[in-house]
Amino acid sequence: MTDIKIGVIGLGYVGLPLARLFGTKFNTVGFDINEARVKELMTGVDATLEVEDDVLQAVLKSTNDDSNGLFCSFDSKDIEDCNYYVVTVPTPVDKNNRPVLTPLYKSSETVGSVLKKGDIVIYESTVYPGVTEDECVPVLERVSGLKFNKDFFVGYSPERINPGDKQHTVEKILKVTSGSTPEIGKKVDALYNAVIEAGTHLAPTIKVAEAAKVIENSQRDINIAFVNELAKIFNLMDINTHDVLEAAGTKWNFLPFKPGLVGGHCIGVDPYYLAQKAQELGYHPEIILAGRRLNDSMGSYVASEVVKLMLSNDIKVKGANVLVLGITFKENCPDVRNTKVVDVIKHLKEFGIEVTIFDPWIDAQEVAHEYGLTALTEAPQRTFDGVVHAVAHKEFLDMDLSKFKSSNAITYDVKGVLKGDVDGRL
């Protein structure tokens, strides 16, 4: 495998860790259209915090030569001589929760412009079954002028990156692989096997691999929706949901899911991809969409619970000041993509509440750009009528929240992990 040169398209939360890993064994070029992102990476700094600076610097090379290592570029000429292309661009949904394949189309055009005979294009982006062969391949053929499964080949290996997780890093998570022919499947599998310590699973077809990925997150979404519904029921009964789950968890086969806000680039999005395809085929997916509806409603539910607590403490709601701790979609990472904390904020504001956001992990400019919200990265020096613990960042767990609270202020713990007295929790 000494003649392999890999081009990784997209250097975000998925692409950079993978490109870094490939660079330890192969000559690798990381390509991204974001010039500022590329320039920052070439200094050995990753703003997403997915790859530690010393780890990134250890594999970086300053020139696009033939040696092993990682070179990052925003110029497509630098990926012209690659023979493996790995596409890791995002696959979001629009405001109506319909799949947006534009990033895949654009990246396929980029790859198609440099595609050569014998090249293999591997997609990692989460999609519904059929997208790789039915949507991406025609773009590759059109732009390159080459014939699929004759001049070039494709594979699919779904990403399994867990942002902020320093234990389950890319090389430690078993990788599903597939190819457009049995022979190509073996080549794709061997490529990943060379760097993935946890090993690989070669799926029989690309569609099987695509389906496996999209149901992984759909399954989690449905399970979380179930415990979110339990939380609503137990709150009406004045029963602590987390105590119930701890007791139930003593049974060996009980699944340990917790209630919460379900956002991010995977669990809060992927079920819509499967649902869209099912509906195109004339089937209405009842359980999948029911789970999505319930999880998407949790922001409104949390805001309503906070308002009820404020009223019970004789706090005038309109004009009240509430501090929201955390706006990322999960703890201990700066990723704000599809965060559902913004739903809580939106509904609190609809009650006339003044909201202050504090999150030490975020890029405040990104939050302003994506959501039009002002967020603090340093703790405010004032008190509030209420504190909503929305994200379980390590900085918040041992923080004395009383310094943010006025005399009769309430505390609502969305994550259910705060120690001491809180007025409400999911």
* 375 alpha carbon, distance to own chain's centre: 21
And the tokens for 215? 């149901």
Q: Under DSSP, is residue 294 helix (H, G, I), strand (E, B) or coil?
A: helix
Buried-exposed string 149-164: b where 16+ CB fall within 10 A, e elsewhere: eebbbbbbbbbbbbbb
Verify whether residue 333 is a known catalytic residue. Answer: no
> Which residues make beta-bridge pairs with 175?
200
Catalytic residue, chosen from 82, 136, 266, 333, is: 266
CA dihedral (5, 7, 8, 11) positive or negative: positive
For residue 274, the number of C-alpha atoms closer than 13 Å in the C-beta half-sphere is: 26
Buried-exposed string 207-226: b where 16+ CB fall within 10 A, e elsewhere: bebbbbbbbbbbebbbebbe
Contact predicate 225/291, CB 8 Å: yes
Contact predicate 389/414, CB 8 Å: yes
CA dihedral (167, 366, 321, 259) positive or negative: negative
Residues classed as catalytic: 266
